[in-house]
């Protein structure tokens, strides 16, 4: 087969040989480009997977100390002061009323439980409030730490009145089941 192709190539005129050679070089360049792209993607995926596996191994190798720290932290919490989803909403609403927040809304609580420990998350929105009142609300919530915590917070200027603010809080609480 190679002899036939060689004889075919040598029987061509010079300009046909140059054209055929150029065509073969272009096909080889496209093929090599494709291989280099796939090789690069493969190498990046190998590095990402290796990094992920190393992180997992680090967590697994430190499992005993992590669990000991979690037990020690949980032992410092008073189970009576922990809040379930309903008490979280009531407590946040009470703090909002104490600090003078009038225009508030809250979403449904989301619960994540892992045996004895549950985390309840509440979306709480405040609209048309001045900075001093919003700061007071934040400080009152902070006093309830570690039983109530702010996971996310965003604040925007009210479009109708630039002197007022709109704020969104994602507030969470920890509940220890008393079994």
Residue (of 137, 140, 174) closest to 155 by Cα position: 137
Look-up of token digits 């001093």: 132
Vertex 46 angle, CA 42 and 50, to 5°: 170
Is this prediction's pTM over 0.85? no
Q: In terms of C-beta distances under 8 Å and separation of at least 24 residues, what long-range contacts does 92-95 make, across chains too?
A: 92/122, 92/124, 92/141, 92/148, 92/171, 95/137, 95/140, 95/141, 95/144
- Calpha distance 98→140 (Å, rounded): 9
Q: What is the pLDDT of residues 128-157, one digit of tens each?
A: 999 999 999 999 999 888 888 899 999 999
Say which residue the tokens 């509440």 belong to: 122
pLDDT one-digit tens code per residue, 9-67: 888 899 998 998 999 999 999 999 999 999 999 999 999 999 999 999 999 999 999 88
Q: Specify whether domain 78-176 bears CATH 3.40.50.720.
A: no
Closest alpha carbon to 179 in 122, 103, 117: 117
């Amino acid at each position: 087969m190679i002899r036939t192709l060689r004889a075919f190539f040598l029987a061509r005129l010079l300009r046909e040989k140059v054209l055929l050679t150029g065509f073969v070089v272009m096909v080889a360049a496209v093929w090599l480009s494709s291989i280099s792209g796939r090789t690069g993607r493969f190498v990046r995926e190998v590095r990402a997977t290796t990094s992920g596996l190393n992180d997992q191994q680090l967590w697994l190798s430190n499992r005993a100390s992590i669990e000991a720290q979690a037990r020690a932290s949980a032992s410092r919490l008073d189970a009576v002061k922990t809040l379930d989803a309903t008490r979280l909403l009531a407590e946040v609403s009470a703090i909002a009323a104490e600090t003078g927040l009038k225009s508030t809304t809250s979403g449904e609580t989301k619960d994540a439980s892992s045996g004895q420990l549950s985390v309840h998350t509440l979306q709480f929105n405040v609209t048309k409030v001045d900075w001093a009142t919003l700061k007071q609300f934040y400080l009152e919530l902070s006093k309830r730490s570690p039983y109530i915590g702010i996971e996310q917070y965003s604040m925007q200027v009210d479009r109708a009145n630039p002197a007022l603010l709109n704020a969104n809080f994602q507030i969470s609480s920890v509940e220890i089941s008393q079994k």
